[in-house]
Structure formats: C-alpha cells, structure tokens
Amino acid sequence: MTGEFVIAIVKTIVAVSTLMTLAALLTWAERKQSAVMQDRIGANRAAILGFRAIGLFHIIADAIKMMTKEDFVPPFANRFIHSLAPFLAIFPAIVAFAAIPMGDTVTLFGHTVEMRLAPMNIGFLFIFAMASVTVYAIVLGGWSSNNRFAMLGAMRAAGQMISYELALGLAVVGSVMVYGTLDLMEIARAQTGLFAGFLPNWGIIYQPLGFLLLITASIAETKRAPFDIPEAESEIIGCFLEYSGMKFGMFFMAEFVTTVVVAGLVSTLYFGGYQVPYLMADGFHLPFGLFLVTPAALVPWLQFGAFWIKVVFFCWLLLTIRWTLPRFRYDQLMHLGWKILLPLALFNVAATGAWILAAA
C-alpha cells in the first residue's frame, strides 16, 4: 500500500514536472519559432553572466515578471470569481493529462509501474470532462472582470467551446469503435505491430478523417489561432483583458498545458502513442527481414522517449498552424463547427460502423 502510494507520488511529480517544463518551453518555442518563421531574431535579451542560451532564460524572466507584477482587480469586479477563474483554467488542463499513457509498464525496484498517472478505463471521458470544465474559467474570467470587451470574449468562448466539444467528442468516437475501448492505454497497446507488412500499425490508417477532425476541433478547444476568437486582441482585446500578473500567467500557462495535452491525445490516438515504429519487446523488426536486438530493459524507456518526441512534434505543428493562418470570424467559426465538422464527424462514425460491420 505505501509502496504504491510512493510510486503514485513519484509518478505525479515526474509527469507534472515534465508537463509543466514542456509548457514553459513552449512559451519560449512560441516566440522563437515564430521569430524564425517571420525572419526575426526572437527572444534573446535575457542573459545570465553574458550567456544567452538562445533565449531560454526568458522563461525564467517571464516567470519572475508574472509573479512580481501588480495583481489588479478592476473596480466593481467580483473579486472572488475573478481570482477563481485562473485556477479553473489551469487545474483541469493539468489533470486531464493523467489519462494519457506515456509508456508501457516497467518494473522498478520490484514494482510494476504503469507509465500513466491514473489507471482508468474511461480515458476519453475523463479528458472531455476536464475540457468541459475549462469553459468556466474563461466565461467566469470574462464576466467577473466587469468589462464589456472581456464580456464579449466570454460570450464568444462559451459558444465556441460548447460547439466544438461536440465535434471533438464525435471525432474520437470513430477510434473508440475501432479499438472497442475508452482506455487510452489499451488503444496505445493495440497500435503495435505493422500494417500491410511495412507501415506502423497506427490509428491514422484507420481514422484519417477522425485525425483531421480531432486536430481541428482541439485547436478550437485550446482557443489558439486561427480559433483565437475569444482573445482576438485586435477586435475585442480579449477575455483576459483585466488580468495581470500571475493570474494572467495561469491562463497563459493553461493554454500551453492544453496544447501539450492535445498533442499527447493526438499522438496516442492516431500515431501509436508511445509505440516506436518496428520496435517489439525484443528489438527492432525492420522491413526486408532486418532485425536489431535491443535490451528488454531499454524498450520501455525508448517508448517513453518516443512518446515525448511525438508530443513535441505535434506541439510544433500546432505552433506552426498558429503562426500561419488568420483568424476566423465568429459566425464563420460556428459555420465550420456545426455545418462542416459535426456532419463530417457523424459521417466518420457511420462510415467506421459500416466498415466494422463489413469486416466482421
């Protein structure tokens, strides 16, 4: 009992610190990557003893700045709710990660450890439950600020997130049908082996449409460009307009944590999760009969690394999309969500069902 308790705590510390580190790195990556895309130098001014470390110290500088800034609550704002909202933003974002498997089981000091924070058979539902709670953060944050622009942002956010939750939920139903489970660990396990002899047996092969729908809807859920309508700083200045200091920082971090969670979900569902292509329990089975022996103890760690590499790749992809596309208008966003994504998701469910029936 105590052993498991310790393992759970260690797992939590490792996973949450990795998650937060990655989210913090994303704040840097966002600036640096956009700078590279836009022919700029990017963040490079923060230096310690003359070392600039390609701008990495900006993460620390940002954190210090956020924590030391004035914490402003506008007059007539609802103080309690105004302070509560940032917590509601970041808490579900972090907790949602608990359902995502980072690797298969390993044996450590005689204990079998599953590389996932919370063993649960309702993986998806848990993530969606958490995603649906984040709506409160932005709606309450906008409303309690007592500012018309923030209020407009909150209205937009509420409409957008409720609409896209539907498409998001229906997009993964296809995967649920294919694998017959809600458990993300089971889904990751099922993606081992090869498809047609040479392709990794990843979910994208079975659910290409589901992948496109999920990634679109989840960008909308993270409220990043081109779906950054609640924030749209050039139109309504945004729902966080009356936030400063660390409260703003928490909204800001929540955005990046959600990005990591989305990247993790997409890689788990459609890109094999922690699976390394051609890697079995005993080594690499490459096409054309090539075989590469790998120590059995190393395999789970290779898989752990592979998972994070995939996550980083999708984070990169999401950033690239963010810096390439202009912003939708609210009615166009609704049009896309209700009239395009939702019917497509329904079609995906029906087609998957038909395919499963035909195969059976």
| HEC letters along 12-70 | HHHHHHHHHHHHHHHHHHHHHHHHHHCCCCCCCCCCECCECHHHCHHHHHHHHHHHHCC
**Smaller CB separation from another protein, 286 or 340:** 340
Q: Is 254 in the site for another protein (CB under 8 A)?
A: no
CB 314 within 8 A of CB 267: yes
35-54: which residues touch another protein (CB under 8 A)?
A: 37-40
Within a 13 Å sphere around the CA of 112, how many CA atoms are in the beta-carbon half? Answer: 3
Smallest separation, CB 6 to another protein (Å): 17
Q: What are 126's two structure tokens?
A: 């848990």
Q: Pick from 16, 155, 209, 351: which binds another protein (CB under 8 A)? A: 155
Smallest separation, CB 91 to another protein (Å): 12
8-state DSSP, 297: T
Q: Pick from 28, 57, 97, 126: which binds another protein (CB under 8 A)? A: 126
Q: What are 207's two structure tokens?
A: 């659910």
* Cβ-based neighbours of 128, under 8 Å, separated by 6 or more: 165, 168, 169
Q: Is 140 in the site for another protein (CB under 8 A)?
A: yes
CB 34 within 8 A of CB 225: no
Q: Is 125 in the site for another protein (CB under 8 A)?
A: yes
Region near another protein per CB under 8 A, out of 131-139, 251-259, 289-297, 307-315: 131-139
Region near another protein per CB under 8 A, out of 6-14, 158-166, 206-214, 257-265: 158-166
CA distance 286 to 277: 9
CA distance 321 to 319: 5
Count of residues in contact with another protein, rule CB under 8 A:
60
Q: Is 330 in the site for another protein (CB under 8 A)?
A: yes
Q: Is 154 in the site for another protein (CB under 8 A)?
A: yes
> Which residue in the block uniquely carries the two structure tokens 């600039």?
52
Q: Is 177 in the site for another protein (CB under 8 A)?
A: no
Region near another protein per CB under 8 A, out of 14-22, 150-158, 249-257, 294-302: 150-158
Q: Angle at the Cα of 176 (from 173 to 177), degrees rounded to 5?
A: 90
179-198: which residues touch another protein (CB under 8 A)?
A: 182
Region near another protein per CB under 8 A, out of 20-28, 31-39, 292-300, 350-358: 31-39
Q: Which amino acid would we find at residue 305?
A: G
Provide the H-helix boundaries in the chain.
2-37, 57-68, 79-96, 123-144, 148-179, 184-190, 203-206, 208-222, 245-270, 299-322, 330-334, 342-359
**Smaller CB separation from another protein, 226 or 272:** 226
Smallest separation, CB 5 to another protein (Å): 12
Region near another protein per CB under 8 A, out of 43-51, 52-60, 118-126, 253-261: 118-126
Omega before 226 cis (within 30°)? yes
Q: Is 150 in the site for another protein (CB under 8 A)?
A: yes
**Smaller CB separation from another protein, 189 or 327:** 327
Q: What are 171's two structure tokens?
A: 């997009």
Q: What are phi and psi of 284, to 5 degrees?
A: -85, 120
Q: What are 66's two structure tokens?
A: 């956020």
Residues forming contacts to another protein in the complex (CB under 8 A) are 34, 37-40, 75-76, 78, 81, 120-122, 125-126, 128-133, 135-136, 139-140, 143, 145-152, 154-156, 158, 162, 165, 182, 225-226, 228-229, 232-237, 323-332
